Structure 1
Amino acid sequence: MAYEEAKKKLRGSICPVITPFLENGDLDIETFQQLIHWQIESGSHGISVTGTSGEPSSLTIEERKRVMKIASETIAGRVFFAPGTGSTNHDETMELTKYAEELGADAAMVIVPYYNKPNQDALYTHFKIVAESVKIPIIIYNIPGRSAVNMEVTTMKRLVEDCPNIVGVKEANKDFEHVNRVLLNCGRDFLLYSGIELLCYPMLAIGGAGFISATANVEPAKVAELYNAWVAGNVERSQDLHFELMPLNDALFRDTNPAPAKIALGMMGKINPKLRLPLGPPSQAVTDEVRQTLISLDILPKETASQL
């Protein structure tokens, strides 16, 4: 595969679509497909599933495969597809990443294993073996707040040098100095995506390829417009959208993602906001803040909100 072509294609606002459930906890396939159609119609440039927002640790391996397959079929090549295939388990990560390749995914997003807390040499070996098992592009997902381990820039650089299909990283890392050093060490053409909502705009300014933002689940058009405005050279509009989205970004992370996002989508009539244990619904205070934020941004009409 021509990885240089992939680096040109895999850019923009990638929505990490939530996994909707029926009231009995089963996958809500019809609603899931509707969410993907809505994302594409709203301007999202790419779709990811079974990442953090998709509750992958609450899904079985077979459920993850089913979600990936349905997503791939629903997208039908209209935008690029980069499912999350990582796990705490190395063999599961291999299995899911190979399955993403079988489906024809444009890339696979592989998380730094959570809970295990591997050292840097173990991280290198894990990612190298996974990358070498497939030919599709690999996007590292570095989220130290969830995994309790930060992939150091030196480790990432080693992987980029040794694995040509490791083409980028989703940095859910609040250390902006770290993400600057990623591009310095891994190359300016390395695809750097923000996984921190308040850093989506700043990362574009240093040469980022886009963002994989949970907020796009709720306000996909404006999140995509932020990227489009930047690419078009309309810096002022990008800045305006950055600050306009801040209250929503804040509200959606008052509790563990994706609980507030699911509450918001429930208020919008998009989904049943069901979560699988051990996750549970946010507090009434967080729910009220989400509701008021949706009203203030004209996402939710006041007359609708008063009935919730």
Structure 2
Amino acid sequence: MKWKIFIISNILLFNILAIIPSAKENGKDLYRDNCKRDLLVLMMAYPDKIKDIEISKDGYIYLLLNNDEKIIYDDKKEKNKYEKISNADIQDTLEVIYPLDSISAVVEGIDPGRGRAYGFLNSIYGGTQSKIEKNLSYFSTSCGNIMFNKNAKAGEALKKSLDEAKKLTEKDNKINNYIFPISGTYNYRVIKDTGRLSAHAYGIAIDLNRNDSDYWKWVDKSKGSKRIEGYPKELVKVFENNGFVWGGKWEHFDILHFEYRPEIILKSKFFSDKLENGKEWYDGVPNNEENKRIIDIINSKM
């Protein structure tokens, strides 16, 4: 009888422990580790722009830039999904994991990369039209001379993307129809009906060949899905591999649009899964000296 009670007690204890959140599932620990991951991919993506992080006395996290500007990471304001687009901080922009897998229809419920932290973009690429235009340069690519922002290696990433895209056309000539004519890159303008600057205003986005089914305000999801289904997956992959997010992976789809957001791609590449027990928060990133240095900085501050 005692053995039966002992066995039953242990079974009950095991079941209770199984439903108690682990330390890694605790809200504060999960938030902290997610912050660390975000800071790591940001410092990996912008090594010549971000030099350090700072934690204020009231717990706010700031990025310290090489130009001595200080940008808040998380304003800690409660926001709905629309406010996370219209008034995003850096944490908001990295909250939703961008899907690196190929898709064949409009995604539901997510717009990863559509929200932009404008204070951060201003510091990296220029905070006024005149400052942005000083950072623009023409890049000679296999698809022509293209104007793009030279900061944060955005222009270099575009050149590599277009050169690789042109190589794809050698094997499949139909891909030319999705690239040419290129619809545009730099254009200092706001997004219609929003008052917010377009990514094109910073010179960090390119629109490839336009199709009438490319934009969520032009057609319904069924027509958008048909366009996505036929869109060359290898063309999308070329841009993603070089740090661009594709507007075709937004619920509010913008299929001709590619935008340089290397931190979002790195977050998806290395941290798409939830942190597992027994693993370090940085597990998955390349084990090199520069990444170790960044990890040490983050661990020392947090």
Q: Which of the five TM-score ranges fits, normalised by the shorter chain? A: under 0.3
Q: Give TM-score scaled by structure 1 length.
A: 0.22
Task: Give the number of the structure whose alpha-carbon radius of gyration is greater.
Answer: 2
Q: Give TM-score scaled by structure 2 length.
A: 0.23
